[in-house]
């Protein structure tokens, strides 16, 4: 057949059978035909040949002490010897047109003492992880909390990837290989949830790609905030690479024949195994000290810690940067008028700090409350150190992260309103503060300090935050609303204390048209704050004139789920708190109707 096709090409007008019969004795012709046949066969094989190979990586992840080291036999022959627990090969090429019988035995015990896995086939051009997992005798070990079988076996996982997607990222799969661990969520702290509800022998079907950086990984019981273990994963040197990240070992070795402790390991494509170290809580804490007592008697202070001078001549509205302190001791702190000595100061004893936490320490109040105006809400105004945990030393790119602290002794509860934006803080009283940071774009704002729940403005300030993107700040109400009633102390203002100790004073806002700008020029319905929210949020709006007002909330089906306002209101600015604790998560609409004005905004409830 091949000859005939070749001859048809070479001699198109010849009777090919006759040609062959006549030429068979012609040696040159025979040599020519053999040459053509050889070339033809080579040509056709190059067209139809396939690469019948696959790549496998073998990973020993059985924490059973009985198989701490194993030998591996393939089709009756020794393949690997003395493979340790948490050992791995590089990706190895194997024929894909062969059926494999694999035996895994305790090292030195021989092929007959092993676990046999027969009839294994591989697909051409596929890459596999082959994970040895489980325990030799499940009856001698803790059961899996999800009731999953824990006997020793080879888990053959296709879809392995030998190289990453990007030189700046690490691509990895996560495999749950801890027999006594429940289903877990894997969370990169302050970044994202990497894997949800993964049970023993389950794995993420797709690779996860993250920037090559260092991460803190929390292993949480699935669907909860209960953290079973935490690890420090430094992936900064693995850009462009891939890894299988395995939960490995036992959560409770005492119930599992003293096997290896639970850990995370990362197996790279070249067979390198990186043990991801358990997270060790910092043995120190960070504090920022802020002097916000407007009492003239303590305009300058010295601070003593455990009997020694710590700071001298700290001015009112002065602040330190965040200072690292040990957490294995108890602190006694004394604040004294500058130069008066430790015996003349205010003493605060038994202060303890938690490892890994950052604190604001705010000196506030007055030395002798009887000589100053009472707080309108009846709150004690004596001098003290207010120690506030949960401080942040770094902010969000492009945003300014702020907490607000009410530090003015003679001021009532207030709302802090970013004009034409929304209510930042509702109903905060002296020594009250926002528990969470408020993130706002790095921009310039007019902040109105309103009496809580009203449109009555006590003071307004220009807050230029445009240069503070990526920073955090504690914004404090500072000084006295009525200095003449408070020993002529400093007047009320707002200050922002940055993480590096810089203190910025916000300028009092002065209207260019004799205060007329404080009267609303038109109807406005502002975006709710916070948004998303759970379960409460604030909705603010302004009226330039008296009007019949309806403020209502609807679901996306157009059904009214709440009426917040229904009545006549005078001109002014208003803030309404909406509680959605009885509603399901989702998008809702809120509508303001005031006279002929109507406006709708969206908000997102996330529970």
* 42: enclosing H helix or E strand: helix 27-48
Residues 348 and 237 in one domain: no
CATH code of residue 541: 2.60.40.1930
Full 3-state SS string of 436-464: CCEEEECCEEEEEEEECCCCCEEEEEEEE
DSSP lists the bridge partners of residue 188 as 192, 217
Domain count, the chain: 4
Residues 235 and 288 in one domain: no
DSSP 431: T
Cα 206 to Cα 193: distance, rounded to the nearest angstrom: 14
Residues 28 and 76 in one domain: no
The set of residues, in sequence order, having a beta carbon less than 8 Å from that of 400 and lying 6+ positions away, is 439, 440, 441, 442, 465, 468, 469, 471, 472, 473
Residues 306 and 198 in one domain: no
Answer with the one of 518, 552, 578 that is the final residue of a domain.
Answer: 518
Residues 460 and 582 in one domain: no
DSSP 50: -
Residue 210 has pLDDT above 50, yes or no: yes
Answer with the one of 466, 491, 518 that is the final residue of a domain.
Answer: 518
Q: What pLDDT score was predicted for residue 22?
A: 45
Residues 37 and 161 in one domain: no
Residues 206 and 316 in one domain: no
CB 385 within 8 A of CB 304: no
Residue 231 has pLDDT above 60, yes or no: yes
Residue 4 has pLDDT above 70, yes or no: no
Cα 500 to Cα 290: distance, rounded to the nearest angstrom: 12
Q: What pLDDT score was predicted for residue 281?
A: 59
Residues 438 and 290 in one domain: yes
pLDDT by residue (tens digit) across 134-148?
Answer: 999 999 999 999 999
Q: What pLDDT score was predicted for residue 39?
A: 41
CA 559 from centre of chain: 36
Burial label, 154 (beta-carbon count in 10 A; 0-12, 13-18, 19+): middle
Residues 569 and 583 in one domain: yes
CB 381 within 8 A of CB 366: yes
Residue 411 has pLDDT above 60, yes or no: yes
Residues 115 and 72 in one domain: yes
Cα 184 to Cα 174: distance, rounded to the nearest angstrom: 11
Q: Over pLDDT 90: what percentage of the chain?
A: 65
Q: What pLDDT score was predicted for residue 523?
A: 84
Q: What pLDDT score was predicted for residue 531?
A: 75
pLDDT by residue (tens digit) across 563-602?
Answer: 999 999 888 888 899 999 999 988 889 999 998 888 888 8
Average pLDDT over residues 66-82: 96
Q: Which domain holds residue 15?
A: 2-48
Residues 340 and 461 in one domain: yes
What is the pLDDT confidence band of residue 355, given thresholds at 50, 70 and 90?
Answer: confident
CB 563 within 8 A of CB 539: no
Distances (CA, A) of 554 to 16, 537, 557: 89, 15, 8
Answer with the one of 280, 304, 326 that is the final residue of a domain.
Answer: 280
Average pLDDT over residues 195-208: 95
What is the pLDDT confidence band of residue 36, given thresholds at 50, 70 and 90?
Answer: very low
Residues 189 and 170 in one domain: yes
Average pLDDT over residues 79-104: 95
Full 3-state SS string of 513-543: CCCHHHCCCCCEECCCECCCECCEEEEEEEE
Q: What pLDDT score was predicted for residue 42?
A: 43
């Amino acid at each position: 057949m091949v000859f005939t096709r070749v001859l048809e090409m070479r001699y198109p007008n010849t009777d090919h059978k006759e040609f062959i019969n006549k030429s068979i004795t012609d040696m040159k012709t025979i040599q020519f035909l053999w040459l053509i046949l050889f070339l033809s066969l080579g040509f056709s094989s190059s067209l139809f040949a396939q690469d019948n190979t696959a790549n496998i990586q073998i990973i020993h992840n059985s924490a059973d002490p009985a198989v701490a080291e194993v030998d591996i036999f393939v089709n009756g022959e020794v393949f690997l010897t003395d493979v340790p627990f948490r050992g791995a090969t590089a990706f190895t090429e194997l024929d894909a047109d062969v059926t494999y019988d694999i035996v895994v035995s305790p090292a030195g015990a021989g092929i007959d003492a092993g676990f046999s896995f027969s009839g294994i086939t591989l697909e051409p051009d596929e890459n596999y992880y082959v994970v040895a997992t489980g325990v030799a005798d499940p009856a001698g070990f803790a059961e899996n909390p999800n009731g999953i079988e824990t006997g020793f076996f080879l888990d053959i996982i296709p879809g392995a990837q030998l190289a990453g997607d990007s030189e700046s990222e690490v691509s990895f799969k996560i495999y749950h290989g801890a027999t006594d661990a429940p289903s877990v969520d894997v969370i990169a702290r302050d970044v994202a949830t990497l894997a949800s509800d993964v049970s023993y022998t389950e794995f993420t079907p797709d690779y996860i790609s993250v920037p090559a950086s260092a991460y803190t990984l929390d292993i949480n019981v699935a669907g909860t905030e209960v953290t079973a273990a935490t690890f420090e994963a430094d992936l900064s040197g693995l850009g462009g690479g891939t890894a299988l990240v395995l939960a490995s070992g036992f959560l409770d070795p005492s119930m599992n024949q003293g096997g290896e402790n639970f850990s995370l390991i990362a197996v790279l494509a070249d067979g390198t195994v990186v043990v991801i170290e358990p997270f060790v809580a910092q043995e120190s804490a960070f504090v920022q000290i802020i002097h916000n007592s407007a009492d003239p008697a303590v305009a300058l202070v010295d601070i003593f810690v455990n009997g020694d001078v710590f700071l001298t001549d700290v001015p009112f509205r002065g602040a330190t940067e965040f200072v690292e302190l040990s957490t294995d001791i108890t602190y006694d702190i004394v604040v004294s008028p500058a130069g008066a000595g430790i015996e003349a100061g205010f003493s605060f004893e038994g202060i303890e700090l938690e490892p890994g936490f950052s604190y604001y320490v705010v000196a506030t109040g007055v030395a002798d409350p009887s000589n100053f105006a009472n707080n309108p809400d009846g709150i004690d105004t004596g001098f003290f150190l207010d120690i506030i945990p949960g401080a942040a030393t770094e902010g969000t790119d492009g945003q300014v992260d702020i907490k607000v602290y009410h530090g003015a002794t003679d001021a009532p509860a207030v709302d802090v309103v970013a004009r034409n934006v929304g209510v930042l803080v509702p109903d905060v009283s002296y020594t009250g503060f926002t528990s969470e940071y408020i993130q706002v774009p790095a921009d310039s704002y007019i902040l109105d300090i309103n009496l809580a729940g009203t449109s009555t403005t006590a003071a307004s300030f220009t807050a230029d935050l445009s240069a503070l993107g990526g920073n955090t700040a504690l914004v404090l109400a500072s000084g006295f609303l009525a200095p003449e009633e408070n020993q002529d102390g400093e007047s009320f203002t707002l200050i922002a204390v940055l993480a590096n100790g810089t203190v910025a004073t916000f300028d009092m806002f002065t209207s260019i048209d004799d205060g007329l700008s404080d009267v609303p020029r038109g109807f406005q319905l502002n975006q709710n704050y916070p948004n998303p929210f759970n379960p409460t949020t604030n909705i603010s709006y302004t009226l330039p004139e008296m009007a019949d007002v309806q403020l209502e909330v609807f679901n996306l089906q157009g059904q009214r789920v709440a009426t917040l306002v229904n009545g006549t209101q005078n001109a002014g600015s208003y803030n309404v708190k909406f509680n959605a604790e009885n509603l399901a998560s989702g998008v809702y609409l809120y509508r303001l109707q005031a006279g002929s004005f109507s406006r709708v905004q969206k908000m997102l409830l996330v529970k």
